[in-house]
Amino acid sequence: MCTYYEYERRKVRILEWFLKTEYRQLLLSAIVIAFAFSLRYIFRYIAFGRLALGLEYISATVLAVILAFVPHELFHRFVARKLGYYARYRVWLLGLALAIIFPLITFGGLIFAAPGAVVIYPKYPFGYIDRKDYGLIAVAGPLANLIVGYVAMFAFFFVRTYVPLFPLVITLFVIMEINLWLAMFNLIPFPPLDGSKVFAWSKVMWLFAFALAAIPSFMMLYGLRFL
């Protein structure tokens, strides 16, 4: 049996192993976000005895988060490096905690989806990041979600009409829902979210991108659901 000190050190070593590389940090963040989004279906279906339907939604959620969170962060990094900046993903431990706490206390109704971010470094020592470059880097992440979300939306309508396989319909719907919601959340124009940087660079671009994400998201939020 280990002592309390040894137990705490073991937990720290496990955390240090996870945070050692960028991709492990990205993996940890994706796992936490997948769990956070899955809680809504645990409270909505499994808690009321609808186990099979709940498990279908949860499995769809895990896939949807992979197709939402990972491309979002990698698009940020890709554009930053194309513009000549050094960029890497870093986990935010408080953000990880909030991502779990918010859906727990709201029974899956509210999700804080900011467990980390791609950190951008200036091209030169003591340099700065151009406002336009910052805006382009910031909008790249939500753009990835909009692309995946709208592709899933069109595929959803096609499959529901011509190939009515319920598990596939659920999967496409959840991919659409999570990607559009994540794009809208990140485009809120308050620091440190992407929307604040896009808004500072181009208000027209911000409004266009936010509308593309917000309109279908609010349709789903206020009951005009597709299922």
For residue 102, the Cα-to-chain-centroid distance in whole angstroms is 15
Q: Are strands 116-121 and 86-91 parallel, antiparallel or unpaired?
A: antiparallel
Cα–Cα dist 174/151, whole Å: 12
Torsion of CA 35, 41, 44, 45, to 10 degrees: -120
* Residue recorded with tokens 């692309």: 147
Bridge partners (DSSP) listed for residue 119: 88
60: its two tokens: 């769809």
Q: Which sequence positions are flagged as catalytic?
A: 73
For residue 75, the Cα-to-chain-centroid distance in whole angstroms is 12
119: its two tokens: 């950190």
Cα–Cα dist 185/213, whole Å: 9
Sequence-distant (6+) residues with CB within 8 A of 162 are none
Cis peptide before 192 (omega within 30 of 0): yes
